[in-house]
Structure 1
Amino acid sequence: MGAGIAHAFLLAGACVHVVERDAEAAAAARDRVQTALTRSAQKGATVPDGDALTTGTDTAVFADAGLVIEAVPEDRALKLDALARIEAVVDAGTVVASNTSSISIDALAASLARPERLLGLHFFNPVPASALVEVVTGARTAPQVVDDAVHWVEAIGKTAVVVRDAPGFASSRLGVALGLEAIRMLEEGVASAHDIDTAMELGYRHPMGPLRTTDVVGLDVRLGIAEELERAFGARFTPPALLRELVAQGHLGRKTGRGFYEWSA
């Protein structure tokens, strides 16, 4: 997800600094972004030179950034740590965003010295193919920060929808509700994964069915979001046993080669 976000901003002409947990992860991130840029160039896109992208482990490179987006895994403690490290080095006018898909922006902002400059920028996977970014506003997010964030989203050629901070926001809450029900139907033997997905693709014109979408997003990611929503809304978001079993077995979807579908290299 982080590589996809970096790729989108680089194609729009921005200078991008990617900070990872260690040197190995930073090198891998650079390889992912460079591979994506090469593919874009092969398709005719204008790509920046090598100086537009830097990767490393030191958050000090964010000192002059106009926008910093954390895209660490969907874990509250990890995100709080990342945001604290970002806030310690950025300029007072920097917009700070979380790419969370379910964690409360207000809960994250509560630990910051300047909560008014934090909001959510919820990108969708895969980032290059998605036209949407959800802009999530906290109770203390400054209106100018929201305007700035919308302009950033538009600058990379995507459409922004602005939603109030609430569990699951708009997209995750609706998307996970559909995905969990599809998993329950598969668990109950109502239909095959392929037929459940085809019903939504052809009957409701969804570009991708809910089970294939879960494979692309990651079953572990969907499970984490469902657990967050279950805490907020109760049993209607209780994760099905099949989802828990597949995650426990390491079958996380496309990234591991197997989820509800088999994925080749």
Structure 2
Amino acid sequence: MPQWDIAVPTRPGRLPGTTMAGFSDRANTFVDVEVIPHPGVTVVFDLGDLPLVIDDGNGQERRGPVVAGLAPNRVRGQGQPGSFACLQVRMSPVVAHAVLGAASEVSGAVLDLDDLWGRDALRTQERLRAATSWEDRFTVAEAALARRHDAGRAVDPEVAFSWARMVDSRGQLRIDRLAAEVGWSRKRLWSRFRSQIGVTPKRAAQLIRFDHAAHLLAAGHTPAAVAADSGYADQSHLHRDVTTFTGSTPAQVARAPFLAVDDVAWPARR
């Protein structure tokens, strides 16, 4: 089993809605990690001596810098014994819309970063590999993300507000109320949100609520308590959402190895 060394930036990033962490395995074992969906878009830069292989859940394997959009299929990362290291970036989909382009193309999928960034993806990976410390790598990655963000197109303010309200309510805010708060019809909010965030408001709320529940399960809370705290109608409702997003039971998600280090790498999850 991997013994993770985790590095995080020592200073706040200048790009809101973006967090980074570096992972390496000091045990030099075979790495096999199934990704638990979370309410963010992920970019992974492979920095190890041997390649990290990403199974995208659709029967395809990808190497090099990859992007996993909101709520992808069951994604698994595998690395051979050796010097394993990767830098992982998590972005709010509001930020990802500008950094990566059309969210509708990324959502639910795993793509090669060069499909979105072209040669800039390879140049960024080369600079990351040339860096001699995690802090230098974070600086390189942040500069690349900020450059793309500044050149990209922002989401509508109403969409950004809606996403923030969903996160603050842990996915428990009714869509009708949200539409009223931004002064849009439900149909308009649904359409704009879907085109810019990549999923419908309902799906986004489900994912945010699931993320909160998954971390409570990993912290040792009972499914009954988690269902009540997370706004599920009952345990069966919680079970359905967990199965939808992971293909596993709540008990299996509670034991997911990567969730055990998630709060170390992402102490300020949003």
What TM-score do the two structures reach when normalised by structure 1? 0.31
Which protein has greater RCO, CA pairs closer than 8 Å, 6+ apart? 2
Q: Could you say which structure has the higher helix fraction?
A: 1
What TM-score do the two structures reach when normalised by structure 2? 0.30
